[in-house]
A and B are shown apart, each in its own frame.
Chain A
Amino acid sequence: GNSVTQMEGPVTLSEEAFLTINCTYTATGYPSLFWYVQYPGEGLQLLLKATKADDKGSNKGFEATYRKETTSFHLEKGSVQVSDSAVYFCALSGVNSGNTPLVFGKGTRLSVIA
């Protein structure tokens, strides 16, 4: 079945450091891939997505590239801010999955210190 594996956290970085959160997936065909962000006490918000191989999703300085050859969708940001402290979830939607739920990774907590 479909699955998503994220690097375990927590990740602690200093402000302006480079961020990478690894995400790899298992799925048949070409799933759609998503990154969600959850700030403390809130629901999840879509951060970015990519629907086909080699697509790059980007938003708020975050980027992720859909790599079919390595089945990966790593999240990156060049210079993190304290306000980026949150939990980040990688997710996928399988091919022909209709409205079945997205498959989520376990989440990676990021703490950015000033």
Chain B
Amino acid sequence: DGGITQSPKYLFRKEGQNVTLSCEQNLNHDAMYWYRQDPGQGLRLIYYSQIVNDFQKGDIAEGYSVSREKKESFPLTVTSAQKNPTAFYLCASRRASGSPDTQYFGPGTRLTVL
């Protein structure tokens, strides 16, 4: 079955440590996205990538970094510079096309910094 996988589902880290969240898709989508969601809040865009080896900052990129070395993978690193990293992180992808298409989401990773 095609889809987006995020691992792990729950992640705990000590303050000051960098942590990398995994996002893999087998939908052959060109574009991938990372969002942050805080309790009771909407989605905030962190980074996105429209093509391999290229990515753009979203609204809240500070303290985060990404890479896009393969079409299938778009890992997100939460660095120690992120002041309040505890949140629910969602990865999404979208097919490249000339007309707008649906954005598909993974199941999310809940990060807790102790």
Do residues A102 and B108 form an inter-chain contact, with CB atoms below 8 A? no
Which residues B80-114 have CB closer than 8 A to chain A?
A: 90, 92, 94, 96, 99-108, 110
Given contacts A34-B102, A93-B100, A99-B30, contact A104 B43 (CB under 8 A): yes
Q: Is the CB of B31 within 8 A of A99?
A: yes
Residue from the list A101, A106, A109 in contact with B45, Cβ < 8 A: A101
Q: Binding site of A, secondary structure by majority: helix, strand, loop or mixed? A: loop
Chain B contact residues, CB within 8 Å of chain A:
4, 6, 30-31, 33, 40-43, 45, 48, 50, 58, 90, 92, 94, 96, 99-108, 110
22 A-B residue pairings within 8 Å (CB atoms): A31-B100, A43-B105, A43-B106, A43-B107, A44-B90, A44-B105, A46-B102, A46-B104, A95-B100, A97-B100, A99-B30, A99-B31, A99-B50, A99-B94, A100-B50, A101-B33, A101-B103, A102-B103, A104-B43, A106-B41, A106-B42, A107-B43
